[in-house]
Structure 1
Amino acid sequence: MKKWILITTATFLTLLTLLLAVGLWGYQQLQQFRQTPLALTTPQELQLQHGTSFHRLGQELQQHGWLPYDWRWKLLGKLQPQLTAIRSGLYEVSPQDTPESLLQKLVAGDEKRFSLTLVEGKTINEWQQYLQQLPHLQQSSQPFLAVLQQQGDDSAKAEGKFFPDTYQYRAGTELTTLLTQSYLKMQQELQAAWDSREQGLPLESPYELLILASIIEKETGRADERRLIAAVFINRLRKGMRLQTDPTVIYGMGEAFNGNITRKDLQQETPFNTYRIQGLPPTPIAAPGRESLMAAAHPESVSYLYFVSRNDGSHVFSTTLAEHNRAVDRYQRRRK
């Protein structure tokens, strides 16, 4: 208690001495300085290096033209020494920031946040092109495979194993750290879908459910159709019918796909050509979201075996081949 009283008394005397030195005018100037917005019109990044002192920061802010480095900055540090305990990092300085609010941000270590969004329905190759454009990330070669190795996944098959979502990061974060979050989240979501699945599905493992979910993801973006699409594929698997789904063919073609599938393409022998192979392809063809995972686990209770696009994002579903052919004539061949 005595020590606290001594510190309080010393602080009070210091403040009193400073206030007497600067006078009322100086105090008013300091108050105005503390609350005046910085001189910038758009948000800017401020990189604060490790070991930067409070006074060095004031000089850097003056070099940026954001505030004058003069007696007011120095006095502010004397009157509020807690504002001098600034932390290194990359910060965003906004036009609304004042010297005091900026210092509070730097003391709290409230660094600028960046977003990484892995979009559902995209492939690993498409994600990699996107990730290379993101700022302030510590990149590495083959980061998806690196995460698989770190997690003890020896399959070397990364497609579909990372959950599409938005992940926040700070400058200097390693990409593999974020991808590890994505991998673990997919493991969690996939296991939840598998554990809740309807009994009797012709799927032997969570990985097969993941493969099916990826096809559903590519076939439709409509929430009201996912379980119907799932039902078609489940029904075909039960009957031993080929899936005959174009997205798997396109995936198997890789860079050879130019926007159109020809009859010749449908006759090509590839592991992903579901017009030629029985059952599911060997791996997912994209990253499914939670809705597609749950659709694969809970297909609609219908007898549909076919569907065809209406060319507006929706599909016509049919039970018989005759019904399906009529729908193809109407919506694809434009016959009445």
Structure 2
Amino acid sequence: MSDLAPLAEAVAVDPLVGHPADYHVFHNFLERCKELPAITTAVVWPLSSVALRGAIEAAEEGLIEPTLIGDEAEMKALADEIGVDISNYPILQADTESRAAELGCIMCRSGNAQAIMKGSLHTDELMRAAMNKDTGLRTNRRISHVFVMDTPAYDRTLLISDAAINITPELEDKVHIIQNAIDLAHALGIPEPKVALLSAVETVNPKIKSTLDAAALCKMADRGQITGGILDGPLAFDTAVSARAAEIKKLESPVVGQADILVVPDLESGNMLAKQLEYLGGAQMAGVVLGARVPAILTSRADSAETRLTSCAVAVLMHYATHPVIKV
């Protein structure tokens, strides 16, 4: 018998995460959106089949009212090729990706769009326009990205930040990253999210900067500099999501084993974590950018139309969390 056989058997009998494998998060988001009006959305450069189809399907689901921004002739040719009808949607002509991104930001700044959606252009191109100090979408908050995960083996909505915008965030940046994620969690129906500040270990080590940041951030939350959530860290990934792992390591806190938000040390670790959960763990994920004037629906060019649909739903819930529907 292999030396690994007893370990494999133990994991099969006593898994560290015992939730039955199912999807339980994104369906609820889409159901909630059925009670809400569609949001006007600037769709920037939807010149791939997935990008264009995702925008139109989101419109047909009643999530967004899109304005398509890009080369009109190319979009119409693509629509004919993939069998999508775009005749009912306004089109803004843009000859280049950068001009399309600029027009999308102008629509949002003028109040003609309540969200902006990335099409098939590169993320840097869209964010360069959005982060322009004079003509972009910046506020007094630092802009950050959140992956919202529907993970089969985990019985909670899981948010991961930041895995797409801030490369090596400093302590002050992480304050904004955390507050943005907490505010999104509230919009998604999590009234007091549990925030795990991830590192490689659970103890403060002066040689590991993420542990020092985690300790400082927890104290800042104690002093009211971060509000609306419960913070703990440093925590390793296993103790953040597994009560059994925390028990083995003799850790006790309101966060261990039931984190709603995972705050990663840097973009590389966050991006790898999210995509490992997606490709090897079977997770579904949505992507949204926070801290701007409007929600930015930011997905990978490789993402499916289904992912873009759910990302739109997250943006809808985020919009109406700060702009409640007035019932007549």
Structure showing greater Rg = 1
TM-score normalised by length of structure 1: 0.21
Select the structure that is richer in helix: 1
TM-score calculated relative to the size of structure 2: 0.21
Higher strand share: 2
Higher relative contact order (CA 8 A, sep 6+): 2
